[in-house]
């Protein structure tokens, strides 16, 4: 059975595994300093870290920022031995059942892996905003990155790109 458990404590084996998976799955320019990540887990009212297990075995994690009109998936990763087993689709569908407007960043389709990632989200009903989007630098030593901003909307409302971008820039990147 797939379980999604909210993590609010950073002094656990589960959190340590999530932090290792974050560092091993994302380029250093695509995540904040780990002490800032820990602070978000412990005390940021918008931030939600979810540990994913299947029959008690760790599968991965998803970090989500919840705002009034949308949820922003910041990071989503599964352990290498759990990849290509359908967990990504199951997890995303579960998140779609719980939320009605989801936004996420995806790299530009510059290689086969990035093209596959975009196709994965499109199969789940996500669309790419037409607007240019720049992911701000997470750290002083990091670079900003041109990305696609994708969205899935199962609500009866339009949420403008500028509103979404401003919420993400303000709360996620502290701009």
**What's the pLDDT tens digit per position in 135-157?**
999 998 899 999 999 999 999 89
From the list 64, 48, 70, the residue with the least C-alpha distance to 129 is 70
Token reading at 43: 């005390």
Which stretches of the chain are DSSP H helices? 13-25, 34-43, 87-98, 112-123, 161-167
Would you state the pLDDT for residue 90?
96
* Mean local confidence (pLDDT), 21-33: 94
Q: Over 90: is that where the pLDDT of 166 sits?
A: yes
The Cα angle at residue 169 between residues 142 and 89, in degrees rounded to 5: 85
Q: What is the mean pLDDT of the chain?
A: 96
Is the predicted pLDDT of residue 122 greater than 90, yes or no? yes
How far is 27 from 25, CA to CA, in rounded Å? 7
Task: Report DSSP state, residue 137.
Answer: P
CA angle 61, 24, 140 (to 5 degrees): 100
Kindly state the average pLDDT of the residues 117-121.
Answer: 95
The predicted structure's pLDDT at residue 170: 97
For 147, the 3-state DSSP assignment is: strand
Work out the angle between the directed axes of helices 87-98 and 112-123 (0-180°, nearest 10). 40
Q: What is the mean pLDDT of residues 61-79?
A: 98
Which pTM was predicted? 0.95
3.40.50.620, 3.30.470.10, 3.40.50.720, 3.40.630.30: CATH of 2-172:
3.40.630.30
pLDDT of residue 113: 86
Q: What is the pLDDT of residue 52?
A: 98
pLDDT digits (tens, 9 = 90+) for 106-115: 999 889 988 9
């Amino acid at each position: 059975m797939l379980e999604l458990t909210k993590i609010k404590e950073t002094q656990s084996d589960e959190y340590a595994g999530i932090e290792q998976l974050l560092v091993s799955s994302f380029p250093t320019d695509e995540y904040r300093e780990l002490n800032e990540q820990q602070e978000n887990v412990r005390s940021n009212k918008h931030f939600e870290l979810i540990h994913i297990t299947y029959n008690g075995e760790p599968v991965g994690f998803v970090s989500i920022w919840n705002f009034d009109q949308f949820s922003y998936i910041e990071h989503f990763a599964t352990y290498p031995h759990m990849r290509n087993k359908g967990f990504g689709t199951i997890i995303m569908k579960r998140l779609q059942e719980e939320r009605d407007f989801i936004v996420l960043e995806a790299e530009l389709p510059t290689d086969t892996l990035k093209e596959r990632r975009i196709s994965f989200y499109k199969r789940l009903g996500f669309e790419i905003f037409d607007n240019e989007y720049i992911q701000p630098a997470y750290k002083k030593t990091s670079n900003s990155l041109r990305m696609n901003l994708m969205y899935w909307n199962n609500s009866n409302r339009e949420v403008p790109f500028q509103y979404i971008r401003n919420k993400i820039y303000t709360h996620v990147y502290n701009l």
